[in-house]
Structure 1
């Protein structure tokens, strides 16, 4: 019997960048184990439609117990764990295939939104206890990151026992140096933080941690 799988995805570079921290972190953690769970990393295209199709293919092939999709978010300064995926594609810029959907549902006729099912508050608490900055985000945007997050949560509705979520990462220093004023985080810190978040998610049972992580306006 194969060990339980923790699917960890990252994206290819986009928006003129030559690197994407989400994939650099994911591939660094390929093959790591958390108890009986083994990490399988996969790179998704930064393309509407194609990214969701590839994710669904991975779900069918791997049948993971946990899924954490990673993405890059310029301007964010911490490990930003998403709470809500919304059913809308509204692209400020074109994706890597040149597509720029506006006000298009991710899934026609799907629910307005889905909540992450990973223990996101416990993951944030674990990161903070280790001295790493982390927060719950109430929006994953409306670009390909949210597209994948929504597609993930829609797909796992019919898969018993599968828990999923999404985490945004800051820019790497070599990216931020070309964009003065934007925060960054070293790759080694990102790897350590995502590793810890996966460990917390894999061992957590039952309800999520009960702590306030909301926002005021």
Structure 2
């Protein structure tokens, strides 16, 4: 990625989702809004600027389409990282692709779907599946290594216990996945992949699925995992 971006600043747009179903506090947004404005890069002359919107993406198809496109127009990012919650997982996973169709099946928080007719009108003859342009297989290996150095505090048996980096490396499970789904996560991913392809000719977009994190300490761990992923993606490891 760094070969096609300015050496002085890389703009990374990061989003999270708002409430849906019984999730009143969505950890994807809690992570996004807790990120710092900048990340230190291994390249002294390079700055990684994190752009987080003032509010989360609604878990609704039509607002996602409008807001995601507007955010890309406004910030012209080099990289987009969408974060979403996977309620059935206990690990972090970066997704490889998103489907064009299937968003007419599951109603969103507004009790609406993205109909087949709307899909045809908006996406036209775009590919049935879009994949990120980033080398995620290599990135995940580096990401796992980066997460092994994170030290966090978690509650265990009602008591706080500080884990060593080695212990946390086993606790923080980060993986490569290709199952973003056909709900709002997959929809946001597809929209951004398509928009970045139109603007840059490259699909420098990823979707990060996070587990259900509860409490400030677990969210802080999620923030560190997310920062590690962004660094790896920007620096092309």
1:134 equivalent in structure 2: 174
| d(CA) in 1 for partners of 2:40, 2:69 | 24
Q: Of the two, which has the highest radius of gyration?
A: 2
Deviation, structure 1 residue 56? 0.9
Q: Please give the residue correspondences for 1:31-42 in structure 2 after superposition, counting only pairs within 5 Å.
A: 31-35=37-41, 36-42=47-53
Deviation, structure 1 residue 103? 5.8
1:123 partnered with 2:139: yes
* Residue ranges of structure 1 left out of the alignment (5+ in a row): 175-184, 206-217
| d(CA) in 1 for partners of 2:35, 2:175 | 22
2:192 equivalent in structure 1: 152
CA contact (8 A) 2:134 2:203 kept: no
* Residue ranges of structure 2 left out of the alignment (5+ in a row): 1-5, 42-46, 149-168
Distance of aligned partners of 1:93 and 1:114 in 2 relative to their CA distance in 1, 3 Å threshold:
closer
Distance of aligned partners of 1:93 and 1:87 in 2 relative to their CA distance in 1, 3 Å threshold:
closer
Identify the match of residue 127 of structure 2 among 105, 108, 111.
111
Point out the more displaced range, 143-152 or 196-205: 196-205
| d(CA) in 2 for partners of 1:53, 1:101 | 13
TM-score, normalised via structure 1 length? 0.81
2:25 is paired with a residue whose SS is coil
Q: Please give the residue correspondences for 1:171-182 in structure 2 after superposition, counting only pairs within 5 Å.
A: 171-173=212-214
CA RMSD of aligned residues (A): 2.3
CA contact (8 A) 1:90 1:101 kept: yes
Deviation readout 1:9-35 (Å, 9 max, x if unpaired): 111111122111111111111402243
Identify the match of residue 71 of structure 1 among 78, 84, 92.
84
1:8 is paired with a residue whose SS is strand
Distance of aligned partners of 1:51 and 1:34 in 2 relative to their CA distance in 1, 3 Å threshold:
farther
| d(CA) in 1 for partners of 2:90, 2:139 | 17
Identify the match of residue 100 of structure 2 among 79, 84, 87.
87
Identify the match of residue 5 of structure 1 among 8, 11, 16.
11
1:80 is paired with a residue whose SS is strand
CA contact (8 A) 2:27 2:214 kept: no
Q: Which has the higher contact order (CA 8 A, sep 6+)?
A: 2
Distance of aligned partners of 1:138 and 1:162 in 2 relative to their CA distance in 1, 3 Å threshold:
closer
TM-score, normalised via structure 2 length? 0.74
CA contact (8 A) 1:65 1:162 kept: no
Distance of aligned partners of 1:192 and 1:37 in 2 relative to their CA distance in 1, 3 Å threshold:
same
